[in-house]
Structure 1
């Protein structure tokens, strides 16, 4: 019953509070990136605060970020890392599915923030646009955050990396920092959240210039470092 009440309180406070924040995002976006980016980070901070103080979800960080812009490739299990990683990396350019940019008003606001849209069809035009948007982010001194497996997955699942990751890695010539995490253990995609500790593990940076199969093998293994071992 206690955890049920926690979930109810979290839903009321976080989702109820997010409605006016989301509705206000287009207004903030009208004043440019210097306003919309702190505005979005404020919402992310609000979400992390709710997770910590209502749900009892704490964050432990292992390893270190690199100095300067980098390509961060992270596991994706819940909404939690979308908020917490964005804050930790300081308004990074986040690689998002093109479908999210089609949401009326909100999609326009996210593009004002400076995201990178990825097209699942991976057409040549879409790839060129993705590289252009990534280049603009780097020119501003921002890192790039990508969830290379493409979607949220429950703990234990390790799907292959999508092709967009290799394209960014090859084009940007940046070090890649893999990020393993286990948020799905306390914030499942379906079902009730529960108190606990989420670990973000920043692995050693992978240098640019490796062959595709080599970098994908290293990154795939590193972002899944916190996954339970397969049964023997």
Structure 2
């Protein structure tokens, strides 16, 4: 049975979603003269837009955001649970120099694609994922990519609350070959901001940085540990938000 939606909240959600997409090119163009010549400017633009979304979500639809744990400040691999566009903004805003591994088609998205290029995000052809990861590892090792926090969604896509999807081996390859600390991230944002649709629920959306996994763990052991930590904590956060994980 589908959940009954409050008609007033639905209208508020529609207005909220409309204005965040309206503001995206405005903020993007406002920062363009700085962003075109400086990654600092590109990051400032993306964080400014994210904070605009957080602020308007709070008073338009009653949705607050909260970052828990200790976000990394040193270079490393951020392996996160992905449920909606909201966790992208929350993670990026919480760390100093984030760049994403993302599907190649996003590069063609207006504004988002242009800023992804300016931030040196890694575009992955899903049909050639292994080759793309090898190239990315090589680029990092020879210094062609600016150091920072590399963000990967280990399940490869947005996953709805309660749904199950396997963790992909690319995260393990990156962890092993880069030799950097991995920072797992759990979330419950999909309970309030779903991966599809317009309706937004009031509440507290949480992104939580978990205990880091230091370099040197066997790849298979690392993947098992990563999945265990992220899934267990994400389930706990979703229960905290009133979602029946079972």
Scaled by the length of structure 2, the TM-score of the pair is 0.82
Residues paired across the two proteins, number:
231
> Would the alpha carbon gap of residues 102 and 224 (structure 1) be closer, same or farther in structure 2, given more than 3 Å must change?
same
Match 1:185 to one of 174, 184, 191: 191
Question: How far, CA to CA, are the matches of 1:94 and 1:129 in structure 2?
Answer: 15
- 1:211 matched to 2:218? The reply is yes
| RMSD over equivalenced CA pairs, Å | 2.6
> Given that residues 68 and 209 in structure 2 are in contact (C-alpha distance below 8 angstroms), is that contact kept between their aligned partners in structure 1?
yes
Identify the residue that residue 46 of structure 1 maps to in structure 2: 52
> Would the alpha carbon gap of residues 14 and 206 (structure 1) be closer, same or farther in structure 2, given more than 3 Å must change?
same
> Would the alpha carbon gap of residues 139 and 110 (structure 1) be closer, same or farther in structure 2, given more than 3 Å must change?
closer
Identify the residue that residue 14 of structure 1 maps to in structure 2: 20
Give the secondary-structure state (helix, strand or coil) at the position aligned to 2:106.
helix
> Would the alpha carbon gap of residues 19 and 87 (structure 1) be closer, same or farther in structure 2, given more than 3 Å must change?
same
Per the TM alignment, residue 109 of structure 1 is displaced from its structure 2 partner at its CA by 3.6
Identify the residue that residue 145 of structure 1 maps to in structure 2: 151
Query: 1:92-103 alignment to 2 at 5 Å?
Result: 92-103=98-109
Per the TM alignment, residue 145 of structure 1 is displaced from its structure 2 partner at its CA by 1.2
> Would the alpha carbon gap of residues 124 and 66 (structure 1) be closer, same or farther in structure 2, given more than 3 Å must change?
closer
Per the TM alignment, residue 167 of structure 1 is displaced from its structure 2 partner at its CA by 1.7
Per the TM alignment, residue 103 of structure 1 is displaced from its structure 2 partner at its CA by 4.2
> Which digits, 9 at most, give the CA deviation of each residue in 1:199-223, with x for residues without a partner?
2222111111222211111111222
Runs in 1 of length 4+ with deviation above 6 angstroms?
136-139
Identify the residue that residue 90 of structure 2 maps to in structure 1: 84
> Given that residues 74 and 146 in structure 1 are in contact (C-alpha distance below 8 angstroms), is that contact kept between their aligned partners in structure 2?
yes
> Would the alpha carbon gap of residues 106 and 74 (structure 1) be closer, same or farther in structure 2, given more than 3 Å must change?
closer
Of stretches 201-210 and 220-229 in structure 1, the one that deviates more from structure 2 is 220-229
Scaled by the length of structure 1, the TM-score of the pair is 0.86
Give the secondary-structure state (helix, strand or coil) at the position aligned to 1:205.
coil
Query: 1:105-144 alignment to 2 at 5 Å?
Result: 107-122=113-128, 125-135=131-141, 140-144=146-150
> Given that residues 130 and 170 in structure 2 are in contact (C-alpha distance below 8 angstroms), is that contact kept between their aligned partners in structure 1?
no
Per the TM alignment, residue 86 of structure 1 is displaced from its structure 2 partner at its CA by 0.2
Give the secondary-structure state (helix, strand or coil) at the position aligned to 2:229.
helix
Give the secondary-structure state (helix, strand or coil) at the position aligned to 1:159.
coil
> Given that residues 174 and 208 in structure 1 are in contact (C-alpha distance below 8 angstroms), is that contact kept between their aligned partners in structure 2?
yes
Question: How far, CA to CA, are the matches of 2:163 and 2:149 in structure 1?
Answer: 27
Give the secondary-structure state (helix, strand or coil) at the position aligned to 1:145.
strand
Where structure 1 has 5 or more consecutive residues not aligned to the other structure, the ranges are none
